[in-house]
């Protein structure tokens, strides 16, 4: 439910929500949006394989926190992009 709720929270009229959700389904099928999903997924994979070294560096904990926050933000953006119309209707 999260995706549709976030995307349609500003709409009070059920008919406006339905039309908006249908439009989103068509938009997210576009090659541009699919490419964006692919780029974000690649960034997540690349970043997951990156190992932070330099445990003796006093700022290591800050770099680790930044790394974790970056991963979390990328995953949250991916959650906002439904991959198909069925997913949009379910949510």
Confidence check: pLDDT of 58 > 70? yes
Span 48-75, average pLDDT: 85
Q: Is the separation of the CB atoms in 47 and 67 below 8 Å? A: yes
- Of 8, 44, 42, nearest to 25 by C-alpha is 8
For the chain, the structural domain boundaries read 2-90
How far apart (Å, rounded) are the C-alpha atoms in residues 30 and 58? 46
**Main-chain dihedrals φ then ψ at residue 75, nearest 5 degrees:** -65, -35
Task: Give me the pLDDT at residue 91, please.
Answer: 45
> Token digits for 51?
């190992």
Looking at the chain, the whole-number percentage of residues with pLDDT higher than 90 is: 27
Q: Is the separation of the CB atoms in 24 and 88 below 8 Å? A: yes
Is 73 exposed, middle or buried, given 0-12, 13-18 or 19+ CB atoms closer than 10 A?
exposed
Q: How high does pLDDT run on average in the chain?
A: 81
Looking at the chain, the whole-number percentage of residues with pLDDT higher than 70 is: 85
Confidence check: pLDDT of 87 > 70? no
């Amino acid at each position: 439910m999260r995706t549709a709720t976030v995307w349609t929270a500003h709409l009070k009229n059920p008919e406006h929500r339905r039309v908006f959700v249908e439009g989103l389904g068509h938009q997210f099928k576009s090659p541009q949006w699919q490419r964006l999903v692919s780029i974000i997924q690649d960034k997540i994979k690349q970043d997951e394989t990156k190992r932070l070294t330099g445990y003796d560096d006093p700022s290591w904990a800050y770099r680790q926190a930044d790394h974790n926050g970056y991963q979390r933000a990328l995953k949250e953006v991916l959650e906002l992009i439904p991959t198909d119309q069925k997913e949009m209707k379910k949510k």
